[in-house]
Structures are given as C-alpha cells and as structure tokens.
Amino acid sequence: MRLLALLFFLLYSNSSIVAAGDYLLGAGDSIEIVVYGEKDLTTKVKIGRSGLVSFPFLEPISVLGLSVTEVKNKIYTGLLGDYLINPQVAVSIVEYRPFFIHGEVVKPGGFPYQEDLRLDKAIALAGGLTNRASKEDWIITRTVQGTTVTIEASIATLIQPDDIIKIEQSFF
C-alpha cells in the first residue's frame, strides 16, 4: 500500500514540475532566485517590461519568454567557475502576472493568475456573472507567439496570464 502511495506521489509531483517548467516568464511575474549556501545571492524580483533581471556578479539577464529552468541554467552557467565551483541554483515563481476579466461580471478587473485556472474559476474570482450576462458568449483575447488571437471560450477553457476575458451581455 505504501509503495502505491509513493508511486502516486512521485507521478503527481513530476507532472507538477513539468507543468511549471512549461510556463514562460513575462513582464509582471515575480521570481525568487536562490543559490544554496550563498545568502547574499538570494533575491526576489518582479520582471519589468524590459525583461531584464539584475543578479550579483552577472550582466543583466533577459528572462522574457524563458522557463524557470532556462533562467536557472543561465545563472548557473554565469556563476560557474569564476565565482563558484558548483553553484546550486533554484528559481521559482513567487507570483504570476495577472489575467483580466471585464463585461458582465460583478467585479471586473485584473486578478492574479493561478495554475490550472479555468474560466469558471476566473468568473468566480470576479464575483460571478451579473443577471444580464450571456451564459455562453465568452471571448478570450490572448497573445500567442507575438500574435493576438481571439478564442471562443467555454466554462472549461484554460486561462493563461495576460488573457483578457470578455463576458458579453445576453440579449434575452
């Protein structure tokens, strides 16, 4: 029984790591960088529009569009040799950039993104639908590889950071 529980835990934790590793950083995300055993090399930073992050001993690092693993590797490579023999670097997301929802919701605005966020939860974060809201006319505007696309959404549509959700008004 314990073996099954352990296998389930390992499978579940690995899928979480893969999902987090696929997330690409953007302006508005906050990350924490830790170099174990080097207290002076621990920092939290909010990524600005330039996408550049300052880190001790290194030139500013461009992190826009990179995963946390790619950022970790850049810092590891930069510190290796000249500064540390075998730096143990960890990069984690402290706060995701927001998504936005407007139209026929009780509290329109920007809300912090959460992993595995679906449209039904996003609507709940915005206080729910108004009495005049359409039950199916929901549009998401999203930037994909530099191109803005419009998606007709359903209650189960996954939300991404920077998404703009429009809840239309019902005609009946």
Q: What is the pLDDT of residues 42-83, one digit of tens each?
A: 999 999 999 999 999 899 999 999 999 999 999 999 999 877
d(C-alpha 96, C-alpha 64), whole Å: 13
Residue with more model confidence, 96 or 3:
96
- Looking at the structure, tell me whether residues 13 and 79 fall in a common domain: yes
What's the order of all strands across the beta sheet hosting 43-46?
43-46, 30-35, 89-95
Residue with more model confidence, 106 or 24:
106
pTM of structure: 0.74
- Looking at the structure, tell me whether residues 87 and 33 fall in a common domain: yes
CA 145 to chain centre: 16
d(C-alpha 98, C-alpha 13), whole Å: 25
Q: Which residues of 11-32 are buried (b: 16+ CB within 10 A; e: fewer)?
A: eeeeeeeeeeeebebbebbebe
Which of 76, 95, 114 terminates a domain? The answer is 95
d(C-alpha 117, C-alpha 80), whole Å: 37
- Looking at the structure, tell me whether residues 60 and 124 fall in a common domain: no
- Looking at the structure, tell me whether residues 91 and 102 fall in a common domain: no
- Tell me the CATH number at 139: 3.10.560.10
- Looking at the structure, tell me whether residues 13 and 59 fall in a common domain: yes
Q: How many domains does the chain have?
A: 2
Q: What is the pLDDT of residues 98-132, one digit of tens each?
A: 999 999 999 999 999 998 999 999 999 999 999 99
- Looking at the structure, tell me whether residues 132 and 76 fall in a common domain: no
d(C-alpha 50, C-alpha 113), whole Å: 21
Judge whether residue 34 has pLDDT over 50. Answer: yes
Residues recorded for the chain: 172
Which of 95, 120, 153 terminates a domain? The answer is 95
DSSP 75: H
Residue range(s) defining the domain that contains residue 153: 98-169
- Looking at the structure, tell me whether residues 34 and 104 fall in a common domain: no
